[in-house]
Structure 1
């Protein structure tokens, strides 16, 4: 496969809840150490010095200034390495990687670093006519544009997803993440930042979840079944096949970005997954590992139901997902891909093993990719 880009390295920071462990770090201070580590891993894997063609980073909240370029400079890649920033909201980190893959596949067969970064803690305050606002609109005037809690609640109601199912799903995510952390399954992918060497942990249990009040009176979505707003960064190194030199990695077999009803944005990952599977000419039954961005338990369950996967399927976020680890918006899709790399490449999965990564996106979109292990 002479033209195929290969993901040969993947790293991430610990994920910190907003205003906690990573609150003092600007986005480029989160991204730069991960870029350096990812490039070092790629060079070790391929046995060569790699000249990076571009740094492609997803980001949602700024502060702007083209964080791809700012982070490339902060990482010490040199003034000749440009950078670009992608905003596809919660799908930004994955979209950035797919942009890098597409650039190599289109003929510019030079290595790239791609992923995402978000510092919710240091994001600037935005205002219109002096009035601050939390986020920009996801849809134009006259279109549905619910806040994400409302959207998750509406999706739970539409799909009759009970409070009990949501609590059970969230408890599984937290339990799996605790087990993975204690077993050291995150260690190889993490880039410590100062004294911060592991993800924030809330110690959430199903009994605690059951005691939480709904965020919307009469509803089913609680703080425990919603992910935490977070800080963090994640990147991968994508190289052309000619430079792989036998290094194990992941190749993208098929991917898709789709739109859906902005009134129910949480469902976007489902049609994206189905489209990516079709592009790869495989079925969900062929996939050995699935990572989805768990923004809400209700949203995750709705997506899984639409793609034909059970609530407790052991292929899905086996080491916990965003409900347990947190959700640094612009980085989350890349975090999920790093997790998939660890589950498939670092764990020694055989060549040909398939994985799936997907995210739903505010405003009514979804992005997904099917990957295959190369050995």
Structure 2
């Protein structure tokens, strides 16, 4: 007998601050970041029977080295969750964190679990280069011209998007400046306070008489936003991916470290634990595009997610559109006719950083906090482009 699809609800979402690569979290392990957010997200529901957690689905774009060996399972054990709770690490590159939320919601919607955790963790400080510890691309990629774009660096794909969709250098730099302005204003207004878990970073140094001197620094805010960001400063930066290009370090997302966790429940679990949810998971969609213009992926994914949710773009009051590059974010917004005021109201990855596989879960925490602050915000969306040519989007409804 087939089961009726049930709703999945977001009950809580938390994240660490996002640190610059080789910044505040340079000596912090990604599994420790993950353990921190897992421990705290379940603490949001003190009455929760933790043995009822059906799975911990964790996104990670580079699941190797310090974040390898099924970091989801290791992280949940470090967090002190019961041995009976399983964990799985998934990888859809930059959409891994959002995919984790979608997969966790699907398990609930299918009636396979009443309580799930979705998460994401990524330490770009731990990875020696953007492609990970050992790059071993298939030789066929280089043997056939039609496969060559699989190996394109993300920056080169942004250059191609800028060319094809005619996004000027001046527009890219102006977009980047606005991202920093919004992020700095949000920090000053305390708008990230409800979603961020301050993280204590310990440092060790030689002390007197052979002792070890331990100092502790509390990281409370995202490290990336720059109050001094200005168009004239960004305009002096040289392109880094193409000699005559327009994509620079200043109008690209920052390499970062961070983690986030999202607690989801069925309606049955909501009643059992007397919990009021933040939002209902409405829909998710992923779509493929040519790898050489991977940044345009959301143009294909967003309409699918909206159709599945039964809403129009005009109904979406808040969109977290990952700013992999200003060029691709602007191209997506223009192609879909998105209202700039409703896209990344608190800044995006150019200012706030982009810890790859964690970003989708991090931006879920940001959207949930926004929905809690604003009773008039009914629908929100999260979307991003994905390496090798994909886009993803998820729609959430405030309840």
Q: TM over 0.5: same fold?
A: yes
- Report the equivalent of 1:53: 54
1:69-103 deviations in Å (ceiling 9; x for gaps): 11111111021111000100000000011000001
Please tell me whether the aligned partners of residues 254 and 371 of structure 1 are also in contact (alpha carbons under 8 angstroms): yes
2:291 is equivalent to residue 262 of structure 1: yes
1:94-136 deviations in Å (ceiling 9; x for gaps): 00110000011111132111021001111367999xxx75686
Aligned equivalents of 2:350, 2:126: Cα separation in 1: 22
Aligned equivalents of 1:367, 1:278: Cα separation in 2: 14
Distance 1:269 1:182, change over 3 A: same
Aligned to 2:191, the other structure's residue is in SS state: coil
Aligned to 2:53, the other structure's residue is in SS state: coil
1:315-363 deviations in Å (ceiling 9; x for gaps): 1110011110111001011111111111112x0424x701111111001
Task: Report which of the two structures shows the higher radius of gyration computed on alpha carbons.
Answer: 2
Alignment of 1:181-192 (within 5 A): 181-192=187-198
Aligned equivalents of 1:362, 1:156: Cα separation in 2: 16
Aligned equivalents of 2:161, 2:135: Cα separation in 1: 22
Aligned equivalents of 1:201, 1:97: Cα separation in 2: 25
| Match among 221, 230, 233 for residue 198 of structure 1 | 221
Structure 1 runs of 4+ with >6 Å offset: 124-128
Distance 1:135 1:303, change over 3 A: farther
Please tell me whether the aligned partners of residues 111 and 237 of structure 1 are also in contact (alpha carbons under 8 angstroms): yes
Please tell me whether the aligned partners of residues 253 and 354 of structure 2 are also in contact (alpha carbons under 8 angstroms): yes
| Match among 317, 322, 325 for residue 288 of structure 1 | 317
Aligned equivalents of 1:210, 1:71: Cα separation in 2: 42
- Report the equivalent of 1:276: 305
Aligned to 2:194, the other structure's residue is in SS state: helix
Shift of 1:305: 1.4
Please tell me whether the aligned partners of residues 61 and 124 of structure 1 are also in contact (alpha carbons under 8 angstroms): no
- Report the equivalent of 1:159: 165
- Report the equivalent of 1:6: 9
Aligned CA RMSD, in angstroms, stands at 2.2
Please tell me whether the aligned partners of residues 18 and 224 of structure 2 are also in contact (alpha carbons under 8 angstroms): no
Aligned to 2:265, the other structure's residue is in SS state: strand
Please tell me whether the aligned partners of residues 299 and 332 of structure 2 are also in contact (alpha carbons under 8 angstroms): yes
2:114 is equivalent to residue 88 of structure 1: no
Aligned to 1:207, the other structure's residue is in SS state: helix
Please tell me whether the aligned partners of residues 59 and 117 of structure 1 are also in contact (alpha carbons under 8 angstroms): yes
Distance 1:302 1:182, change over 3 A: same
Shift of 1:247: 0.7
Q: Comparing 330-339 with 91-100, which one deviates more in the overlay?
A: 330-339
Shift of 1:252: 1.7
Please tell me whether the aligned partners of residues 174 and 205 of structure 1 are also in contact (alpha carbons under 8 angstroms): no
Give the TM-score normalised by structure 2. Answer: 0.86
Give the TM-score normalised by structure 1. Answer: 0.92
Aligned to 1:223, the other structure's residue is in SS state: coil
2:362 is equivalent to residue 361 of structure 1: no
Aligned equivalents of 2:136, 2:334: Cα separation in 1: 29
Aligned equivalents of 2:176, 2:130: Cα separation in 1: 32
Number of aligned pairs?
364
| Match among 210, 223, 229 for residue 249 of structure 2 | 223
Unaligned segments of structure 2, at least 5 residues: 201-217
Please tell me whether the aligned partners of residues 126 and 133 of structure 1 are also in contact (alpha carbons under 8 angstroms): no
Aligned equivalents of 2:126, 2:247: Cα separation in 1: 27
Aligned to 1:81, the other structure's residue is in SS state: coil
2:366 is equivalent to residue 330 of structure 1: no
- Report the equivalent of 2:261: 235
